[in-house]
Amino acid sequence: MTLVLNNQEIEALLPMADCLPAVEASFRDLGNGQAVNRPRSDMYSPTPHEDARYVFKSMDGSLPRLGVMALRLNSDVIRWRGDGGGVRKSKVPAAGGRWVGLILLFSHETGEPLAIVPDGVIQRLRVGATNALAARELAADDASIYGLIGAGWQAGAQLMAMALVRQLREVRVYSPTPERREAFAAEMWQRLELPVHAVDTPEEAIRGAQILGTATSSITPVLDPDWVPPGTHVTCVKVLEVHPGLLERCALTVVSTRRRSPDSYIVGAGEEALRIHDPRSAIGLDSGAARADEDFDLSAMPDLPDLLSGKVKKPEDPRASTCFINVMGLGTQFAALGHLAYERARSAGAGREIPTDWFLEDVHP
Amino acid sequence: MTLVLNNQEIEALLPMADCLPAVEASFRDLGNGQAVNRPRSDMYSPTPHEDARYVFKSMDGSLPRLGVMALRLNSDVIRWRGDGGGVRKSKVPAAGGRWVGLILLFSHETGEPLAIVPDGVIQRLRVGATNALAARELAADDASIYGLIGAGWQAGAQLMAMALVRQLREVRVYSPTPERREAFAAEMWQRLELPVHAVDTPEEAIRGAQILGTATSSITPVLDPDWVPPGTHVTCVKVLEVHPGLLERCALTVVSTRRRSPDSYIVGAGEEALRIHDPRSAIGLDSGAARADEDFDLSAMPDLPDLLSGKVKKPEDPRASTCFINVMGLGTQFAALGHLAYERARSAGAGREIPTDWFLEDVHP
C-alpha cells in the first residue's frame, strides 16, 4: 500500500528536535558522495488567473543509506507584486482555496512508491533545521539574542530550530505589520517558554543580536549590510533575501549547496532563452535587485557538508561575522524527512492508503 | 477527484491514429515557443539487487494550449549485460514482478493533479507516433517496403504508426531470436492486414526497403551504415542505436529535440562528476561504442518542429537518404497523450479515483 499523510499528521510525527539529525545525516551523505540531488527546476506557463503564472517546480534526491528516493514538486499559481520597496511573491490558493505541493517517496529496492505526502510542514522543518545546523557550527558559542526579520510560518520554524542549538535568552522579531509580529511573539513565547519581543523597526531586531535571521517572502534583499554588527551570524531562507554587500562584511559565508540557481523553462521565451537562471526578467519584473546567480559565485563557496565535516571552520576572531545562505531546497532534505515521516507513520498506523497496484504496470517501455 | 488509469484502459482510449495529431500539435507548440520541456534527468543509486542500479528518471512538459503540465517518472531497477556484440539494458521487475513508470498530469488553472496514469502504453504510442510524423515528412512518397530491426513491444508501435503515413506493401522484420520475430510477424500481419515477413538476417530486412527502422533494447549501434541503400529513410527509438557513420550517409538528419543528452546524477561519482552525460562509463561499462552526446552535435541539427513548420524540407534528390533520431522522451509528448487519455476517460467514465483532497494542503512553504 502507498501511504498518504497530511500536514497535521506529519507535524505530530516530526518534532523539530528529530529533524536536525535527519537533515544533518543527509548533508553528510552528500559530502561523502553517498547521495545525489537533482537541483530544482522551475517551469513557467500561462494560467487563466490574471497577472499570474502557473509554475511547476521539481527536485529529486536519493539517499542510499535509507534506501529511498524523493521527488518533491510544487504545482502553483503564483503572483508577484510590488510591495513598498521590494517585490513579493504570493501563491494563489487556486486549488479550491488550497495549494499543491507533494513529496513522492520511492524504494531503491522495489522501485515502488512508498508514500505521497504534502510538502508544507516538511518544507518548514527542513529550512529551519538546515539553518540551525549551520548556526550550531558558526554562531558564537554563547550567542543568546536572536534577531528575526519575518513573522510568518517559516519564521516560526527558524526560531524553533535555533532554540535547539543555542541557549537563547531573548528573541526580537520584526515584520511590517504590527498585529502580525505581536501575534507571532505571543505565540512563540508561549510555545518555547522564551522571551520573544515584537519590535517596531528592523534596526531594533538587529541591535545586540548575535544571531540574525531573515524569513520573509521578499525576492529582493531584506537586510541593509550596514546594520549588521561585528561578530554576528546571519541566516536567510533564500538567496534572494541576501544583499551582496553583506558577504563583504562576513569573514566566512557558507552555502547550503554550491549548485547554482534553478533552471527555469518559460513558455514563450523562445528556445534559446528557455534555460535561464533568473525568471524575474522574463516575467516582466525588473526590481533592480541583485541577481543571485550573477552577483554571488556560489560554486566557489564552502557548503554545509564542508562545515559539518570540519573542512572549513568558524573564524577564531569573535568579531568576525559569518553568513549562511540557504540557497534552495534539496531533494535529499525531502528524502530524509519524508523517510522519517513514512517510518513513523507506519509504526503509528497513521495516514490513508492507496493500493500500490494502482501505480504499477506489467509492461515497460 | 484525481483519475487513475491502467495501461489496458489507455490502450482502448488511444488508437494510434489519434495519437499522431496529438503528438504533432505538441511539437508545433514547442516550435512556436508555446510549450516548454525540461529534458530528462537520470539519477543512479545503489540497490540491493545484484549487478544492478536503482535509476530514477524524470522529465516535465507544459502545454498551455491544453492547460496541462505533465511529469513523467520511472522508478526502476536496471541491469546491463553484454549480449553478443553489444550491451543491452533490462529493467528488473522489482515491484513484485512489475514496474513503476508514471505520468502525473496537473492543471494550469487550479494546480491540481488531474490524473496519475502508467507510462507504458503512452511511451509506446509516443515513440511510434513521433517517428511516423518524421517519416511522413521525410520518406519517399511512394515508400512501400519497411525494414524493421527489432520485434519487441516498441517495434509493434513503430509498425502500427508507420502504416498510417505510407501505403506499405510489405514489412520485413529481423530480430536475433527466430521464435520472437516469427510471432511478431504473424501477430502484426493479422492486426494490420499487411504482409509482415520474418527474415533471417538484418541485411534481408534492409535490402530494398525505403523505410528502415530500429526498435531494440541495444545501447550500442545497431545498423551498419554500409548496409543502408541510397534513398532510404532511417528511424530509431533512441540515439544510442545510431552509428555516427550513418549520419555521413544522410543528406538530412532531423532530431526529435536539439536538447542534449540526459543529465545524470550518480551516487558515489563525487560532486564534480555528478553531472555527466553518459552514465555507461560511470557504471563500469565501456562498450567502445559512440557516446551519443560527444559524437553527435545534436544542438546543430534541425528538429521535428523545424520539419513540421517547413523550415527544413526533404531533399529533392530521390537517392538522398534521410535520418530521424528520436533522441529521448519529451515531457510535452506525455502531456499531449496523457491529456487525451484523461479527457476520453472522463467522457467514458473509465478508471478509478483518488480524492484530490488527499493531495492538497492548506499551508504552503
**In chain A, which among 90-129 make CB contacts under 8 A with chain B?**
91, 94-102, 104, 106, 108-113, 116, 118-121, 123-124, 127
Backbone angles phi, psi at A168, to 5 degrees: -75, 135
- Grouping H, G, I as helix, E, B as strand and the rest as coil, residue A213 is strand
For A268, which of B33, B43, B98 is closest by C-beta distance?
B33
- Grid cell, residue A265, equals 523553462
Q: What integer is the mean pLDDT of B133-140?
A: 98
- Grid cell, residue A307, equals 562545515
Across the beta sheet with A250-255, the strand order is: A196-198, A170-174, A145-149, A211-214, A233-235, A321-325, A250-255
CATH number for the region B2-122+330-359 comes to 3.30.1780.10
Cβ distance A33 to B116 less than 8 Å, yes or no, reads: no
Using a CB-CB cut-off of 8 Å, the residues of chain A touching B352 are 358
Q: What angle do CA B255, B121, A54 make, to 5 degrees?
A: 70
- C-alpha closest to that of B9 among B359, B344, B362: B344
How crowded is residue A108: how many other Cβ atoms within 10 Å of its Cβ?
25
Q: Cβ distance A332 to A289 under 8 Å?
A: no
Cβ distance B120 to A363 less than 8 Å, yes or no, reads: yes
- Reported as a pLDDT band with limits 50, 70 and 90, residue B290 is very low
Q: Cβ distance A181 to A175 under 8 Å?
A: yes
Report chain A's C-alpha Rg in angstroms: 20
Residue A59's pLDDT is what? 96
* Separation between Cα atoms, residue B290 and residue B292, nearest integer Å: 6
* Separation between Cα atoms, residue A358 and residue A2, nearest integer Å: 9
**In chain B, which among 121-180 make CB contacts under 8 A with chain A?**
121, 123-124, 127, 153-154
Lowest mean pLDDT among A39-48, B62-71, B122-131, B270-279: B270-279
Q: Cβ distance A196 to A188 under 8 Å?
A: yes
- Grid cell, residue B150, equals 527489432
Contacts of B50 (CB under 8 A, 6+ apart): none
Q: Tell me what ipTM this predicted complex has.
A: 0.92
Residue A281's pLDDT is what? 55
Q: Cβ distance A239 to A325 under 8 Å?
A: yes
For residue B136, pLDDT beyond 80: yes
- Reported as a pLDDT band with limits 50, 70 and 90, residue B277 is very low
CA distance B128 to chain A (A): 12
Using a CB-CB cut-off of 8 Å, the residues of chain B touching A119 are 361, 365
| Chain B residue at shortest CA distance from A89 | B365
Q: Cβ distance B58 to A61 under 8 Å?
A: no
Q: Cβ distance A173 to A205 under 8 Å?
A: yes
Residue A274's pLDDT is what? 42
Question: B217 — contact with chain A (CB < 8 Å)?
Answer: no
pLDDT by 10s per residue, chain A, length 365: 999 999 999 999 999 999 999 999 999 999 998 999 998 998 999 999 988 899 999 999 999 999 999 999 999 999 877 666 566 778 999 999 999 999 999 999 999 999 999 999 999 999 999 999 999 999 999 999 999 999 999 999 999 999 999 999 999 999 999 999 999 999 999 999 999 999 999 999 998 999 999 998 777 778 888 888 899 999 988 777 888 888 888 999 999 998 766 677 777 765 444 444 455 555 555 544 434 445 667 788 999 999 999 999 999 999 999 999 998 899 999 999 999 999 999 999 999 999 999 999 998 87
Q: For domain A123-263+279-325, is the CATH number 3.40.50.720?
A: yes
Output the pTM of the full model.
0.92
For B45, which of A45, A104, A108 is closest by C-beta distance?
A108
* Separation between Cα atoms, residue A135 and residue B131, nearest integer Å: 55
Which CATH superfamily, name and number, covers A2-121+330-358? Answer: ornithine cyclodeaminase, domain 1 (3.30.1780.10)
| Chain A residue at shortest CA distance from B362 | A98
* Separation between Cα atoms, residue B334 and residue B62, nearest integer Å: 9
Lowest mean pLDDT among A165-179, B21-35, B217-231: B217-231
* Separation between Cα atoms, residue A252 and residue B83, nearest integer Å: 54
Helix ranges (DSSP H) in chain A: 7-13, 16-31, 120-138, 153-165, 178-192, 202-206, 244-249, 279-282, 292-295, 304-308, 331-348
The DSSP bridge partners found for residue A174 are A149
Q: Cβ distance A79 to A51 under 8 Å?
A: yes
Residue B222's pLDDT is what? 80
- Grid cell, residue B346, equals 472522463
A351 DSSP assignment: S
Sign of the torsion formed by the C-alpha atoms of B21, B25, B31 and B32: positive
The DSSP bridge partners found for residue A197 are A172
Cβ distance A112 to B64 less than 8 Å, yes or no, reads: no
Domain assignments of chain B as residue spans, ordered by start: 2-122+330-359, 127-260+287-325
DSSP per-residue codes, A106-140: EETTT--EEEEEESHHHHHHHHHHHHHHHHHHHS-
Q: What angle do CA A130, A134, A140 make, to 5 degrees?
A: 145
How crowded is residue B33: how many other Cβ atoms within 10 Å of its Cβ?
16
* Separation between Cα atoms, residue B156 and residue B213, nearest integer Å: 11
A24 DSSP assignment: H
* Separation between Cα atoms, residue A20 and residue A7, nearest integer Å: 19
Q: Torsion angle of alpha carbons A216, A217, A218, A221, nearest 10°?
A: 40
- Reported as a pLDDT band with limits 50, 70 and 90, residue B340 is very high
Question: B69 — contact with chain A (CB < 8 Å)?
Answer: yes
Class of domain B127-260+287-325: alpha beta
Kind plus residue range of the DSSP H or E element containing B42: strand B36-45
Q: What angle do CA B297, B54, B43 make, to 5 degrees?
A: 40
- Grid cell, residue B253, equals 538528419
Burial of B84 (0-12, 13-18, 19+ CB in 10 A): exposed
For residue B326, pLDDT beyond 80: yes
Q: Torsion angle of alpha carbons A132, A136, A141, A142, nearest 10°?
A: 20
| Chain B residue at shortest CA distance from A59 | B58
Contacts of B16 (CB under 8 A, 6+ apart): B125, B128, B129, B157, B160, B161, B164
Q: What integer is the mean pLDDT of B252-273?
A: 73
The DSSP bridge partners found for residue A107 are A68
Q: What angle do CA B279, B281, B287 make, to 5 degrees?
A: 110
Q: Cβ distance B345 to B274 under 8 Å?
A: no
For B120, which of A4, A352, A365 is closest by C-beta distance?
A365
- Scanning the structure block, which residue is given the C-alpha cell 534552495? A328
Residue A263's pLDDT is what? 76
Q: Cβ distance A39 to A257 under 8 Å?
A: yes
Cβ distance A121 to B49 less than 8 Å, yes or no, reads: no
**In chain A, which among 267-286 make CB contacts under 8 A with chain B?**
267-271, 274
For B56, which of A60, A101, A360 is closest by C-beta distance?
A60
For B99, which of A113, A270, A364 is closest by C-beta distance?
A364
- Grid cell, residue A215, equals 524569513
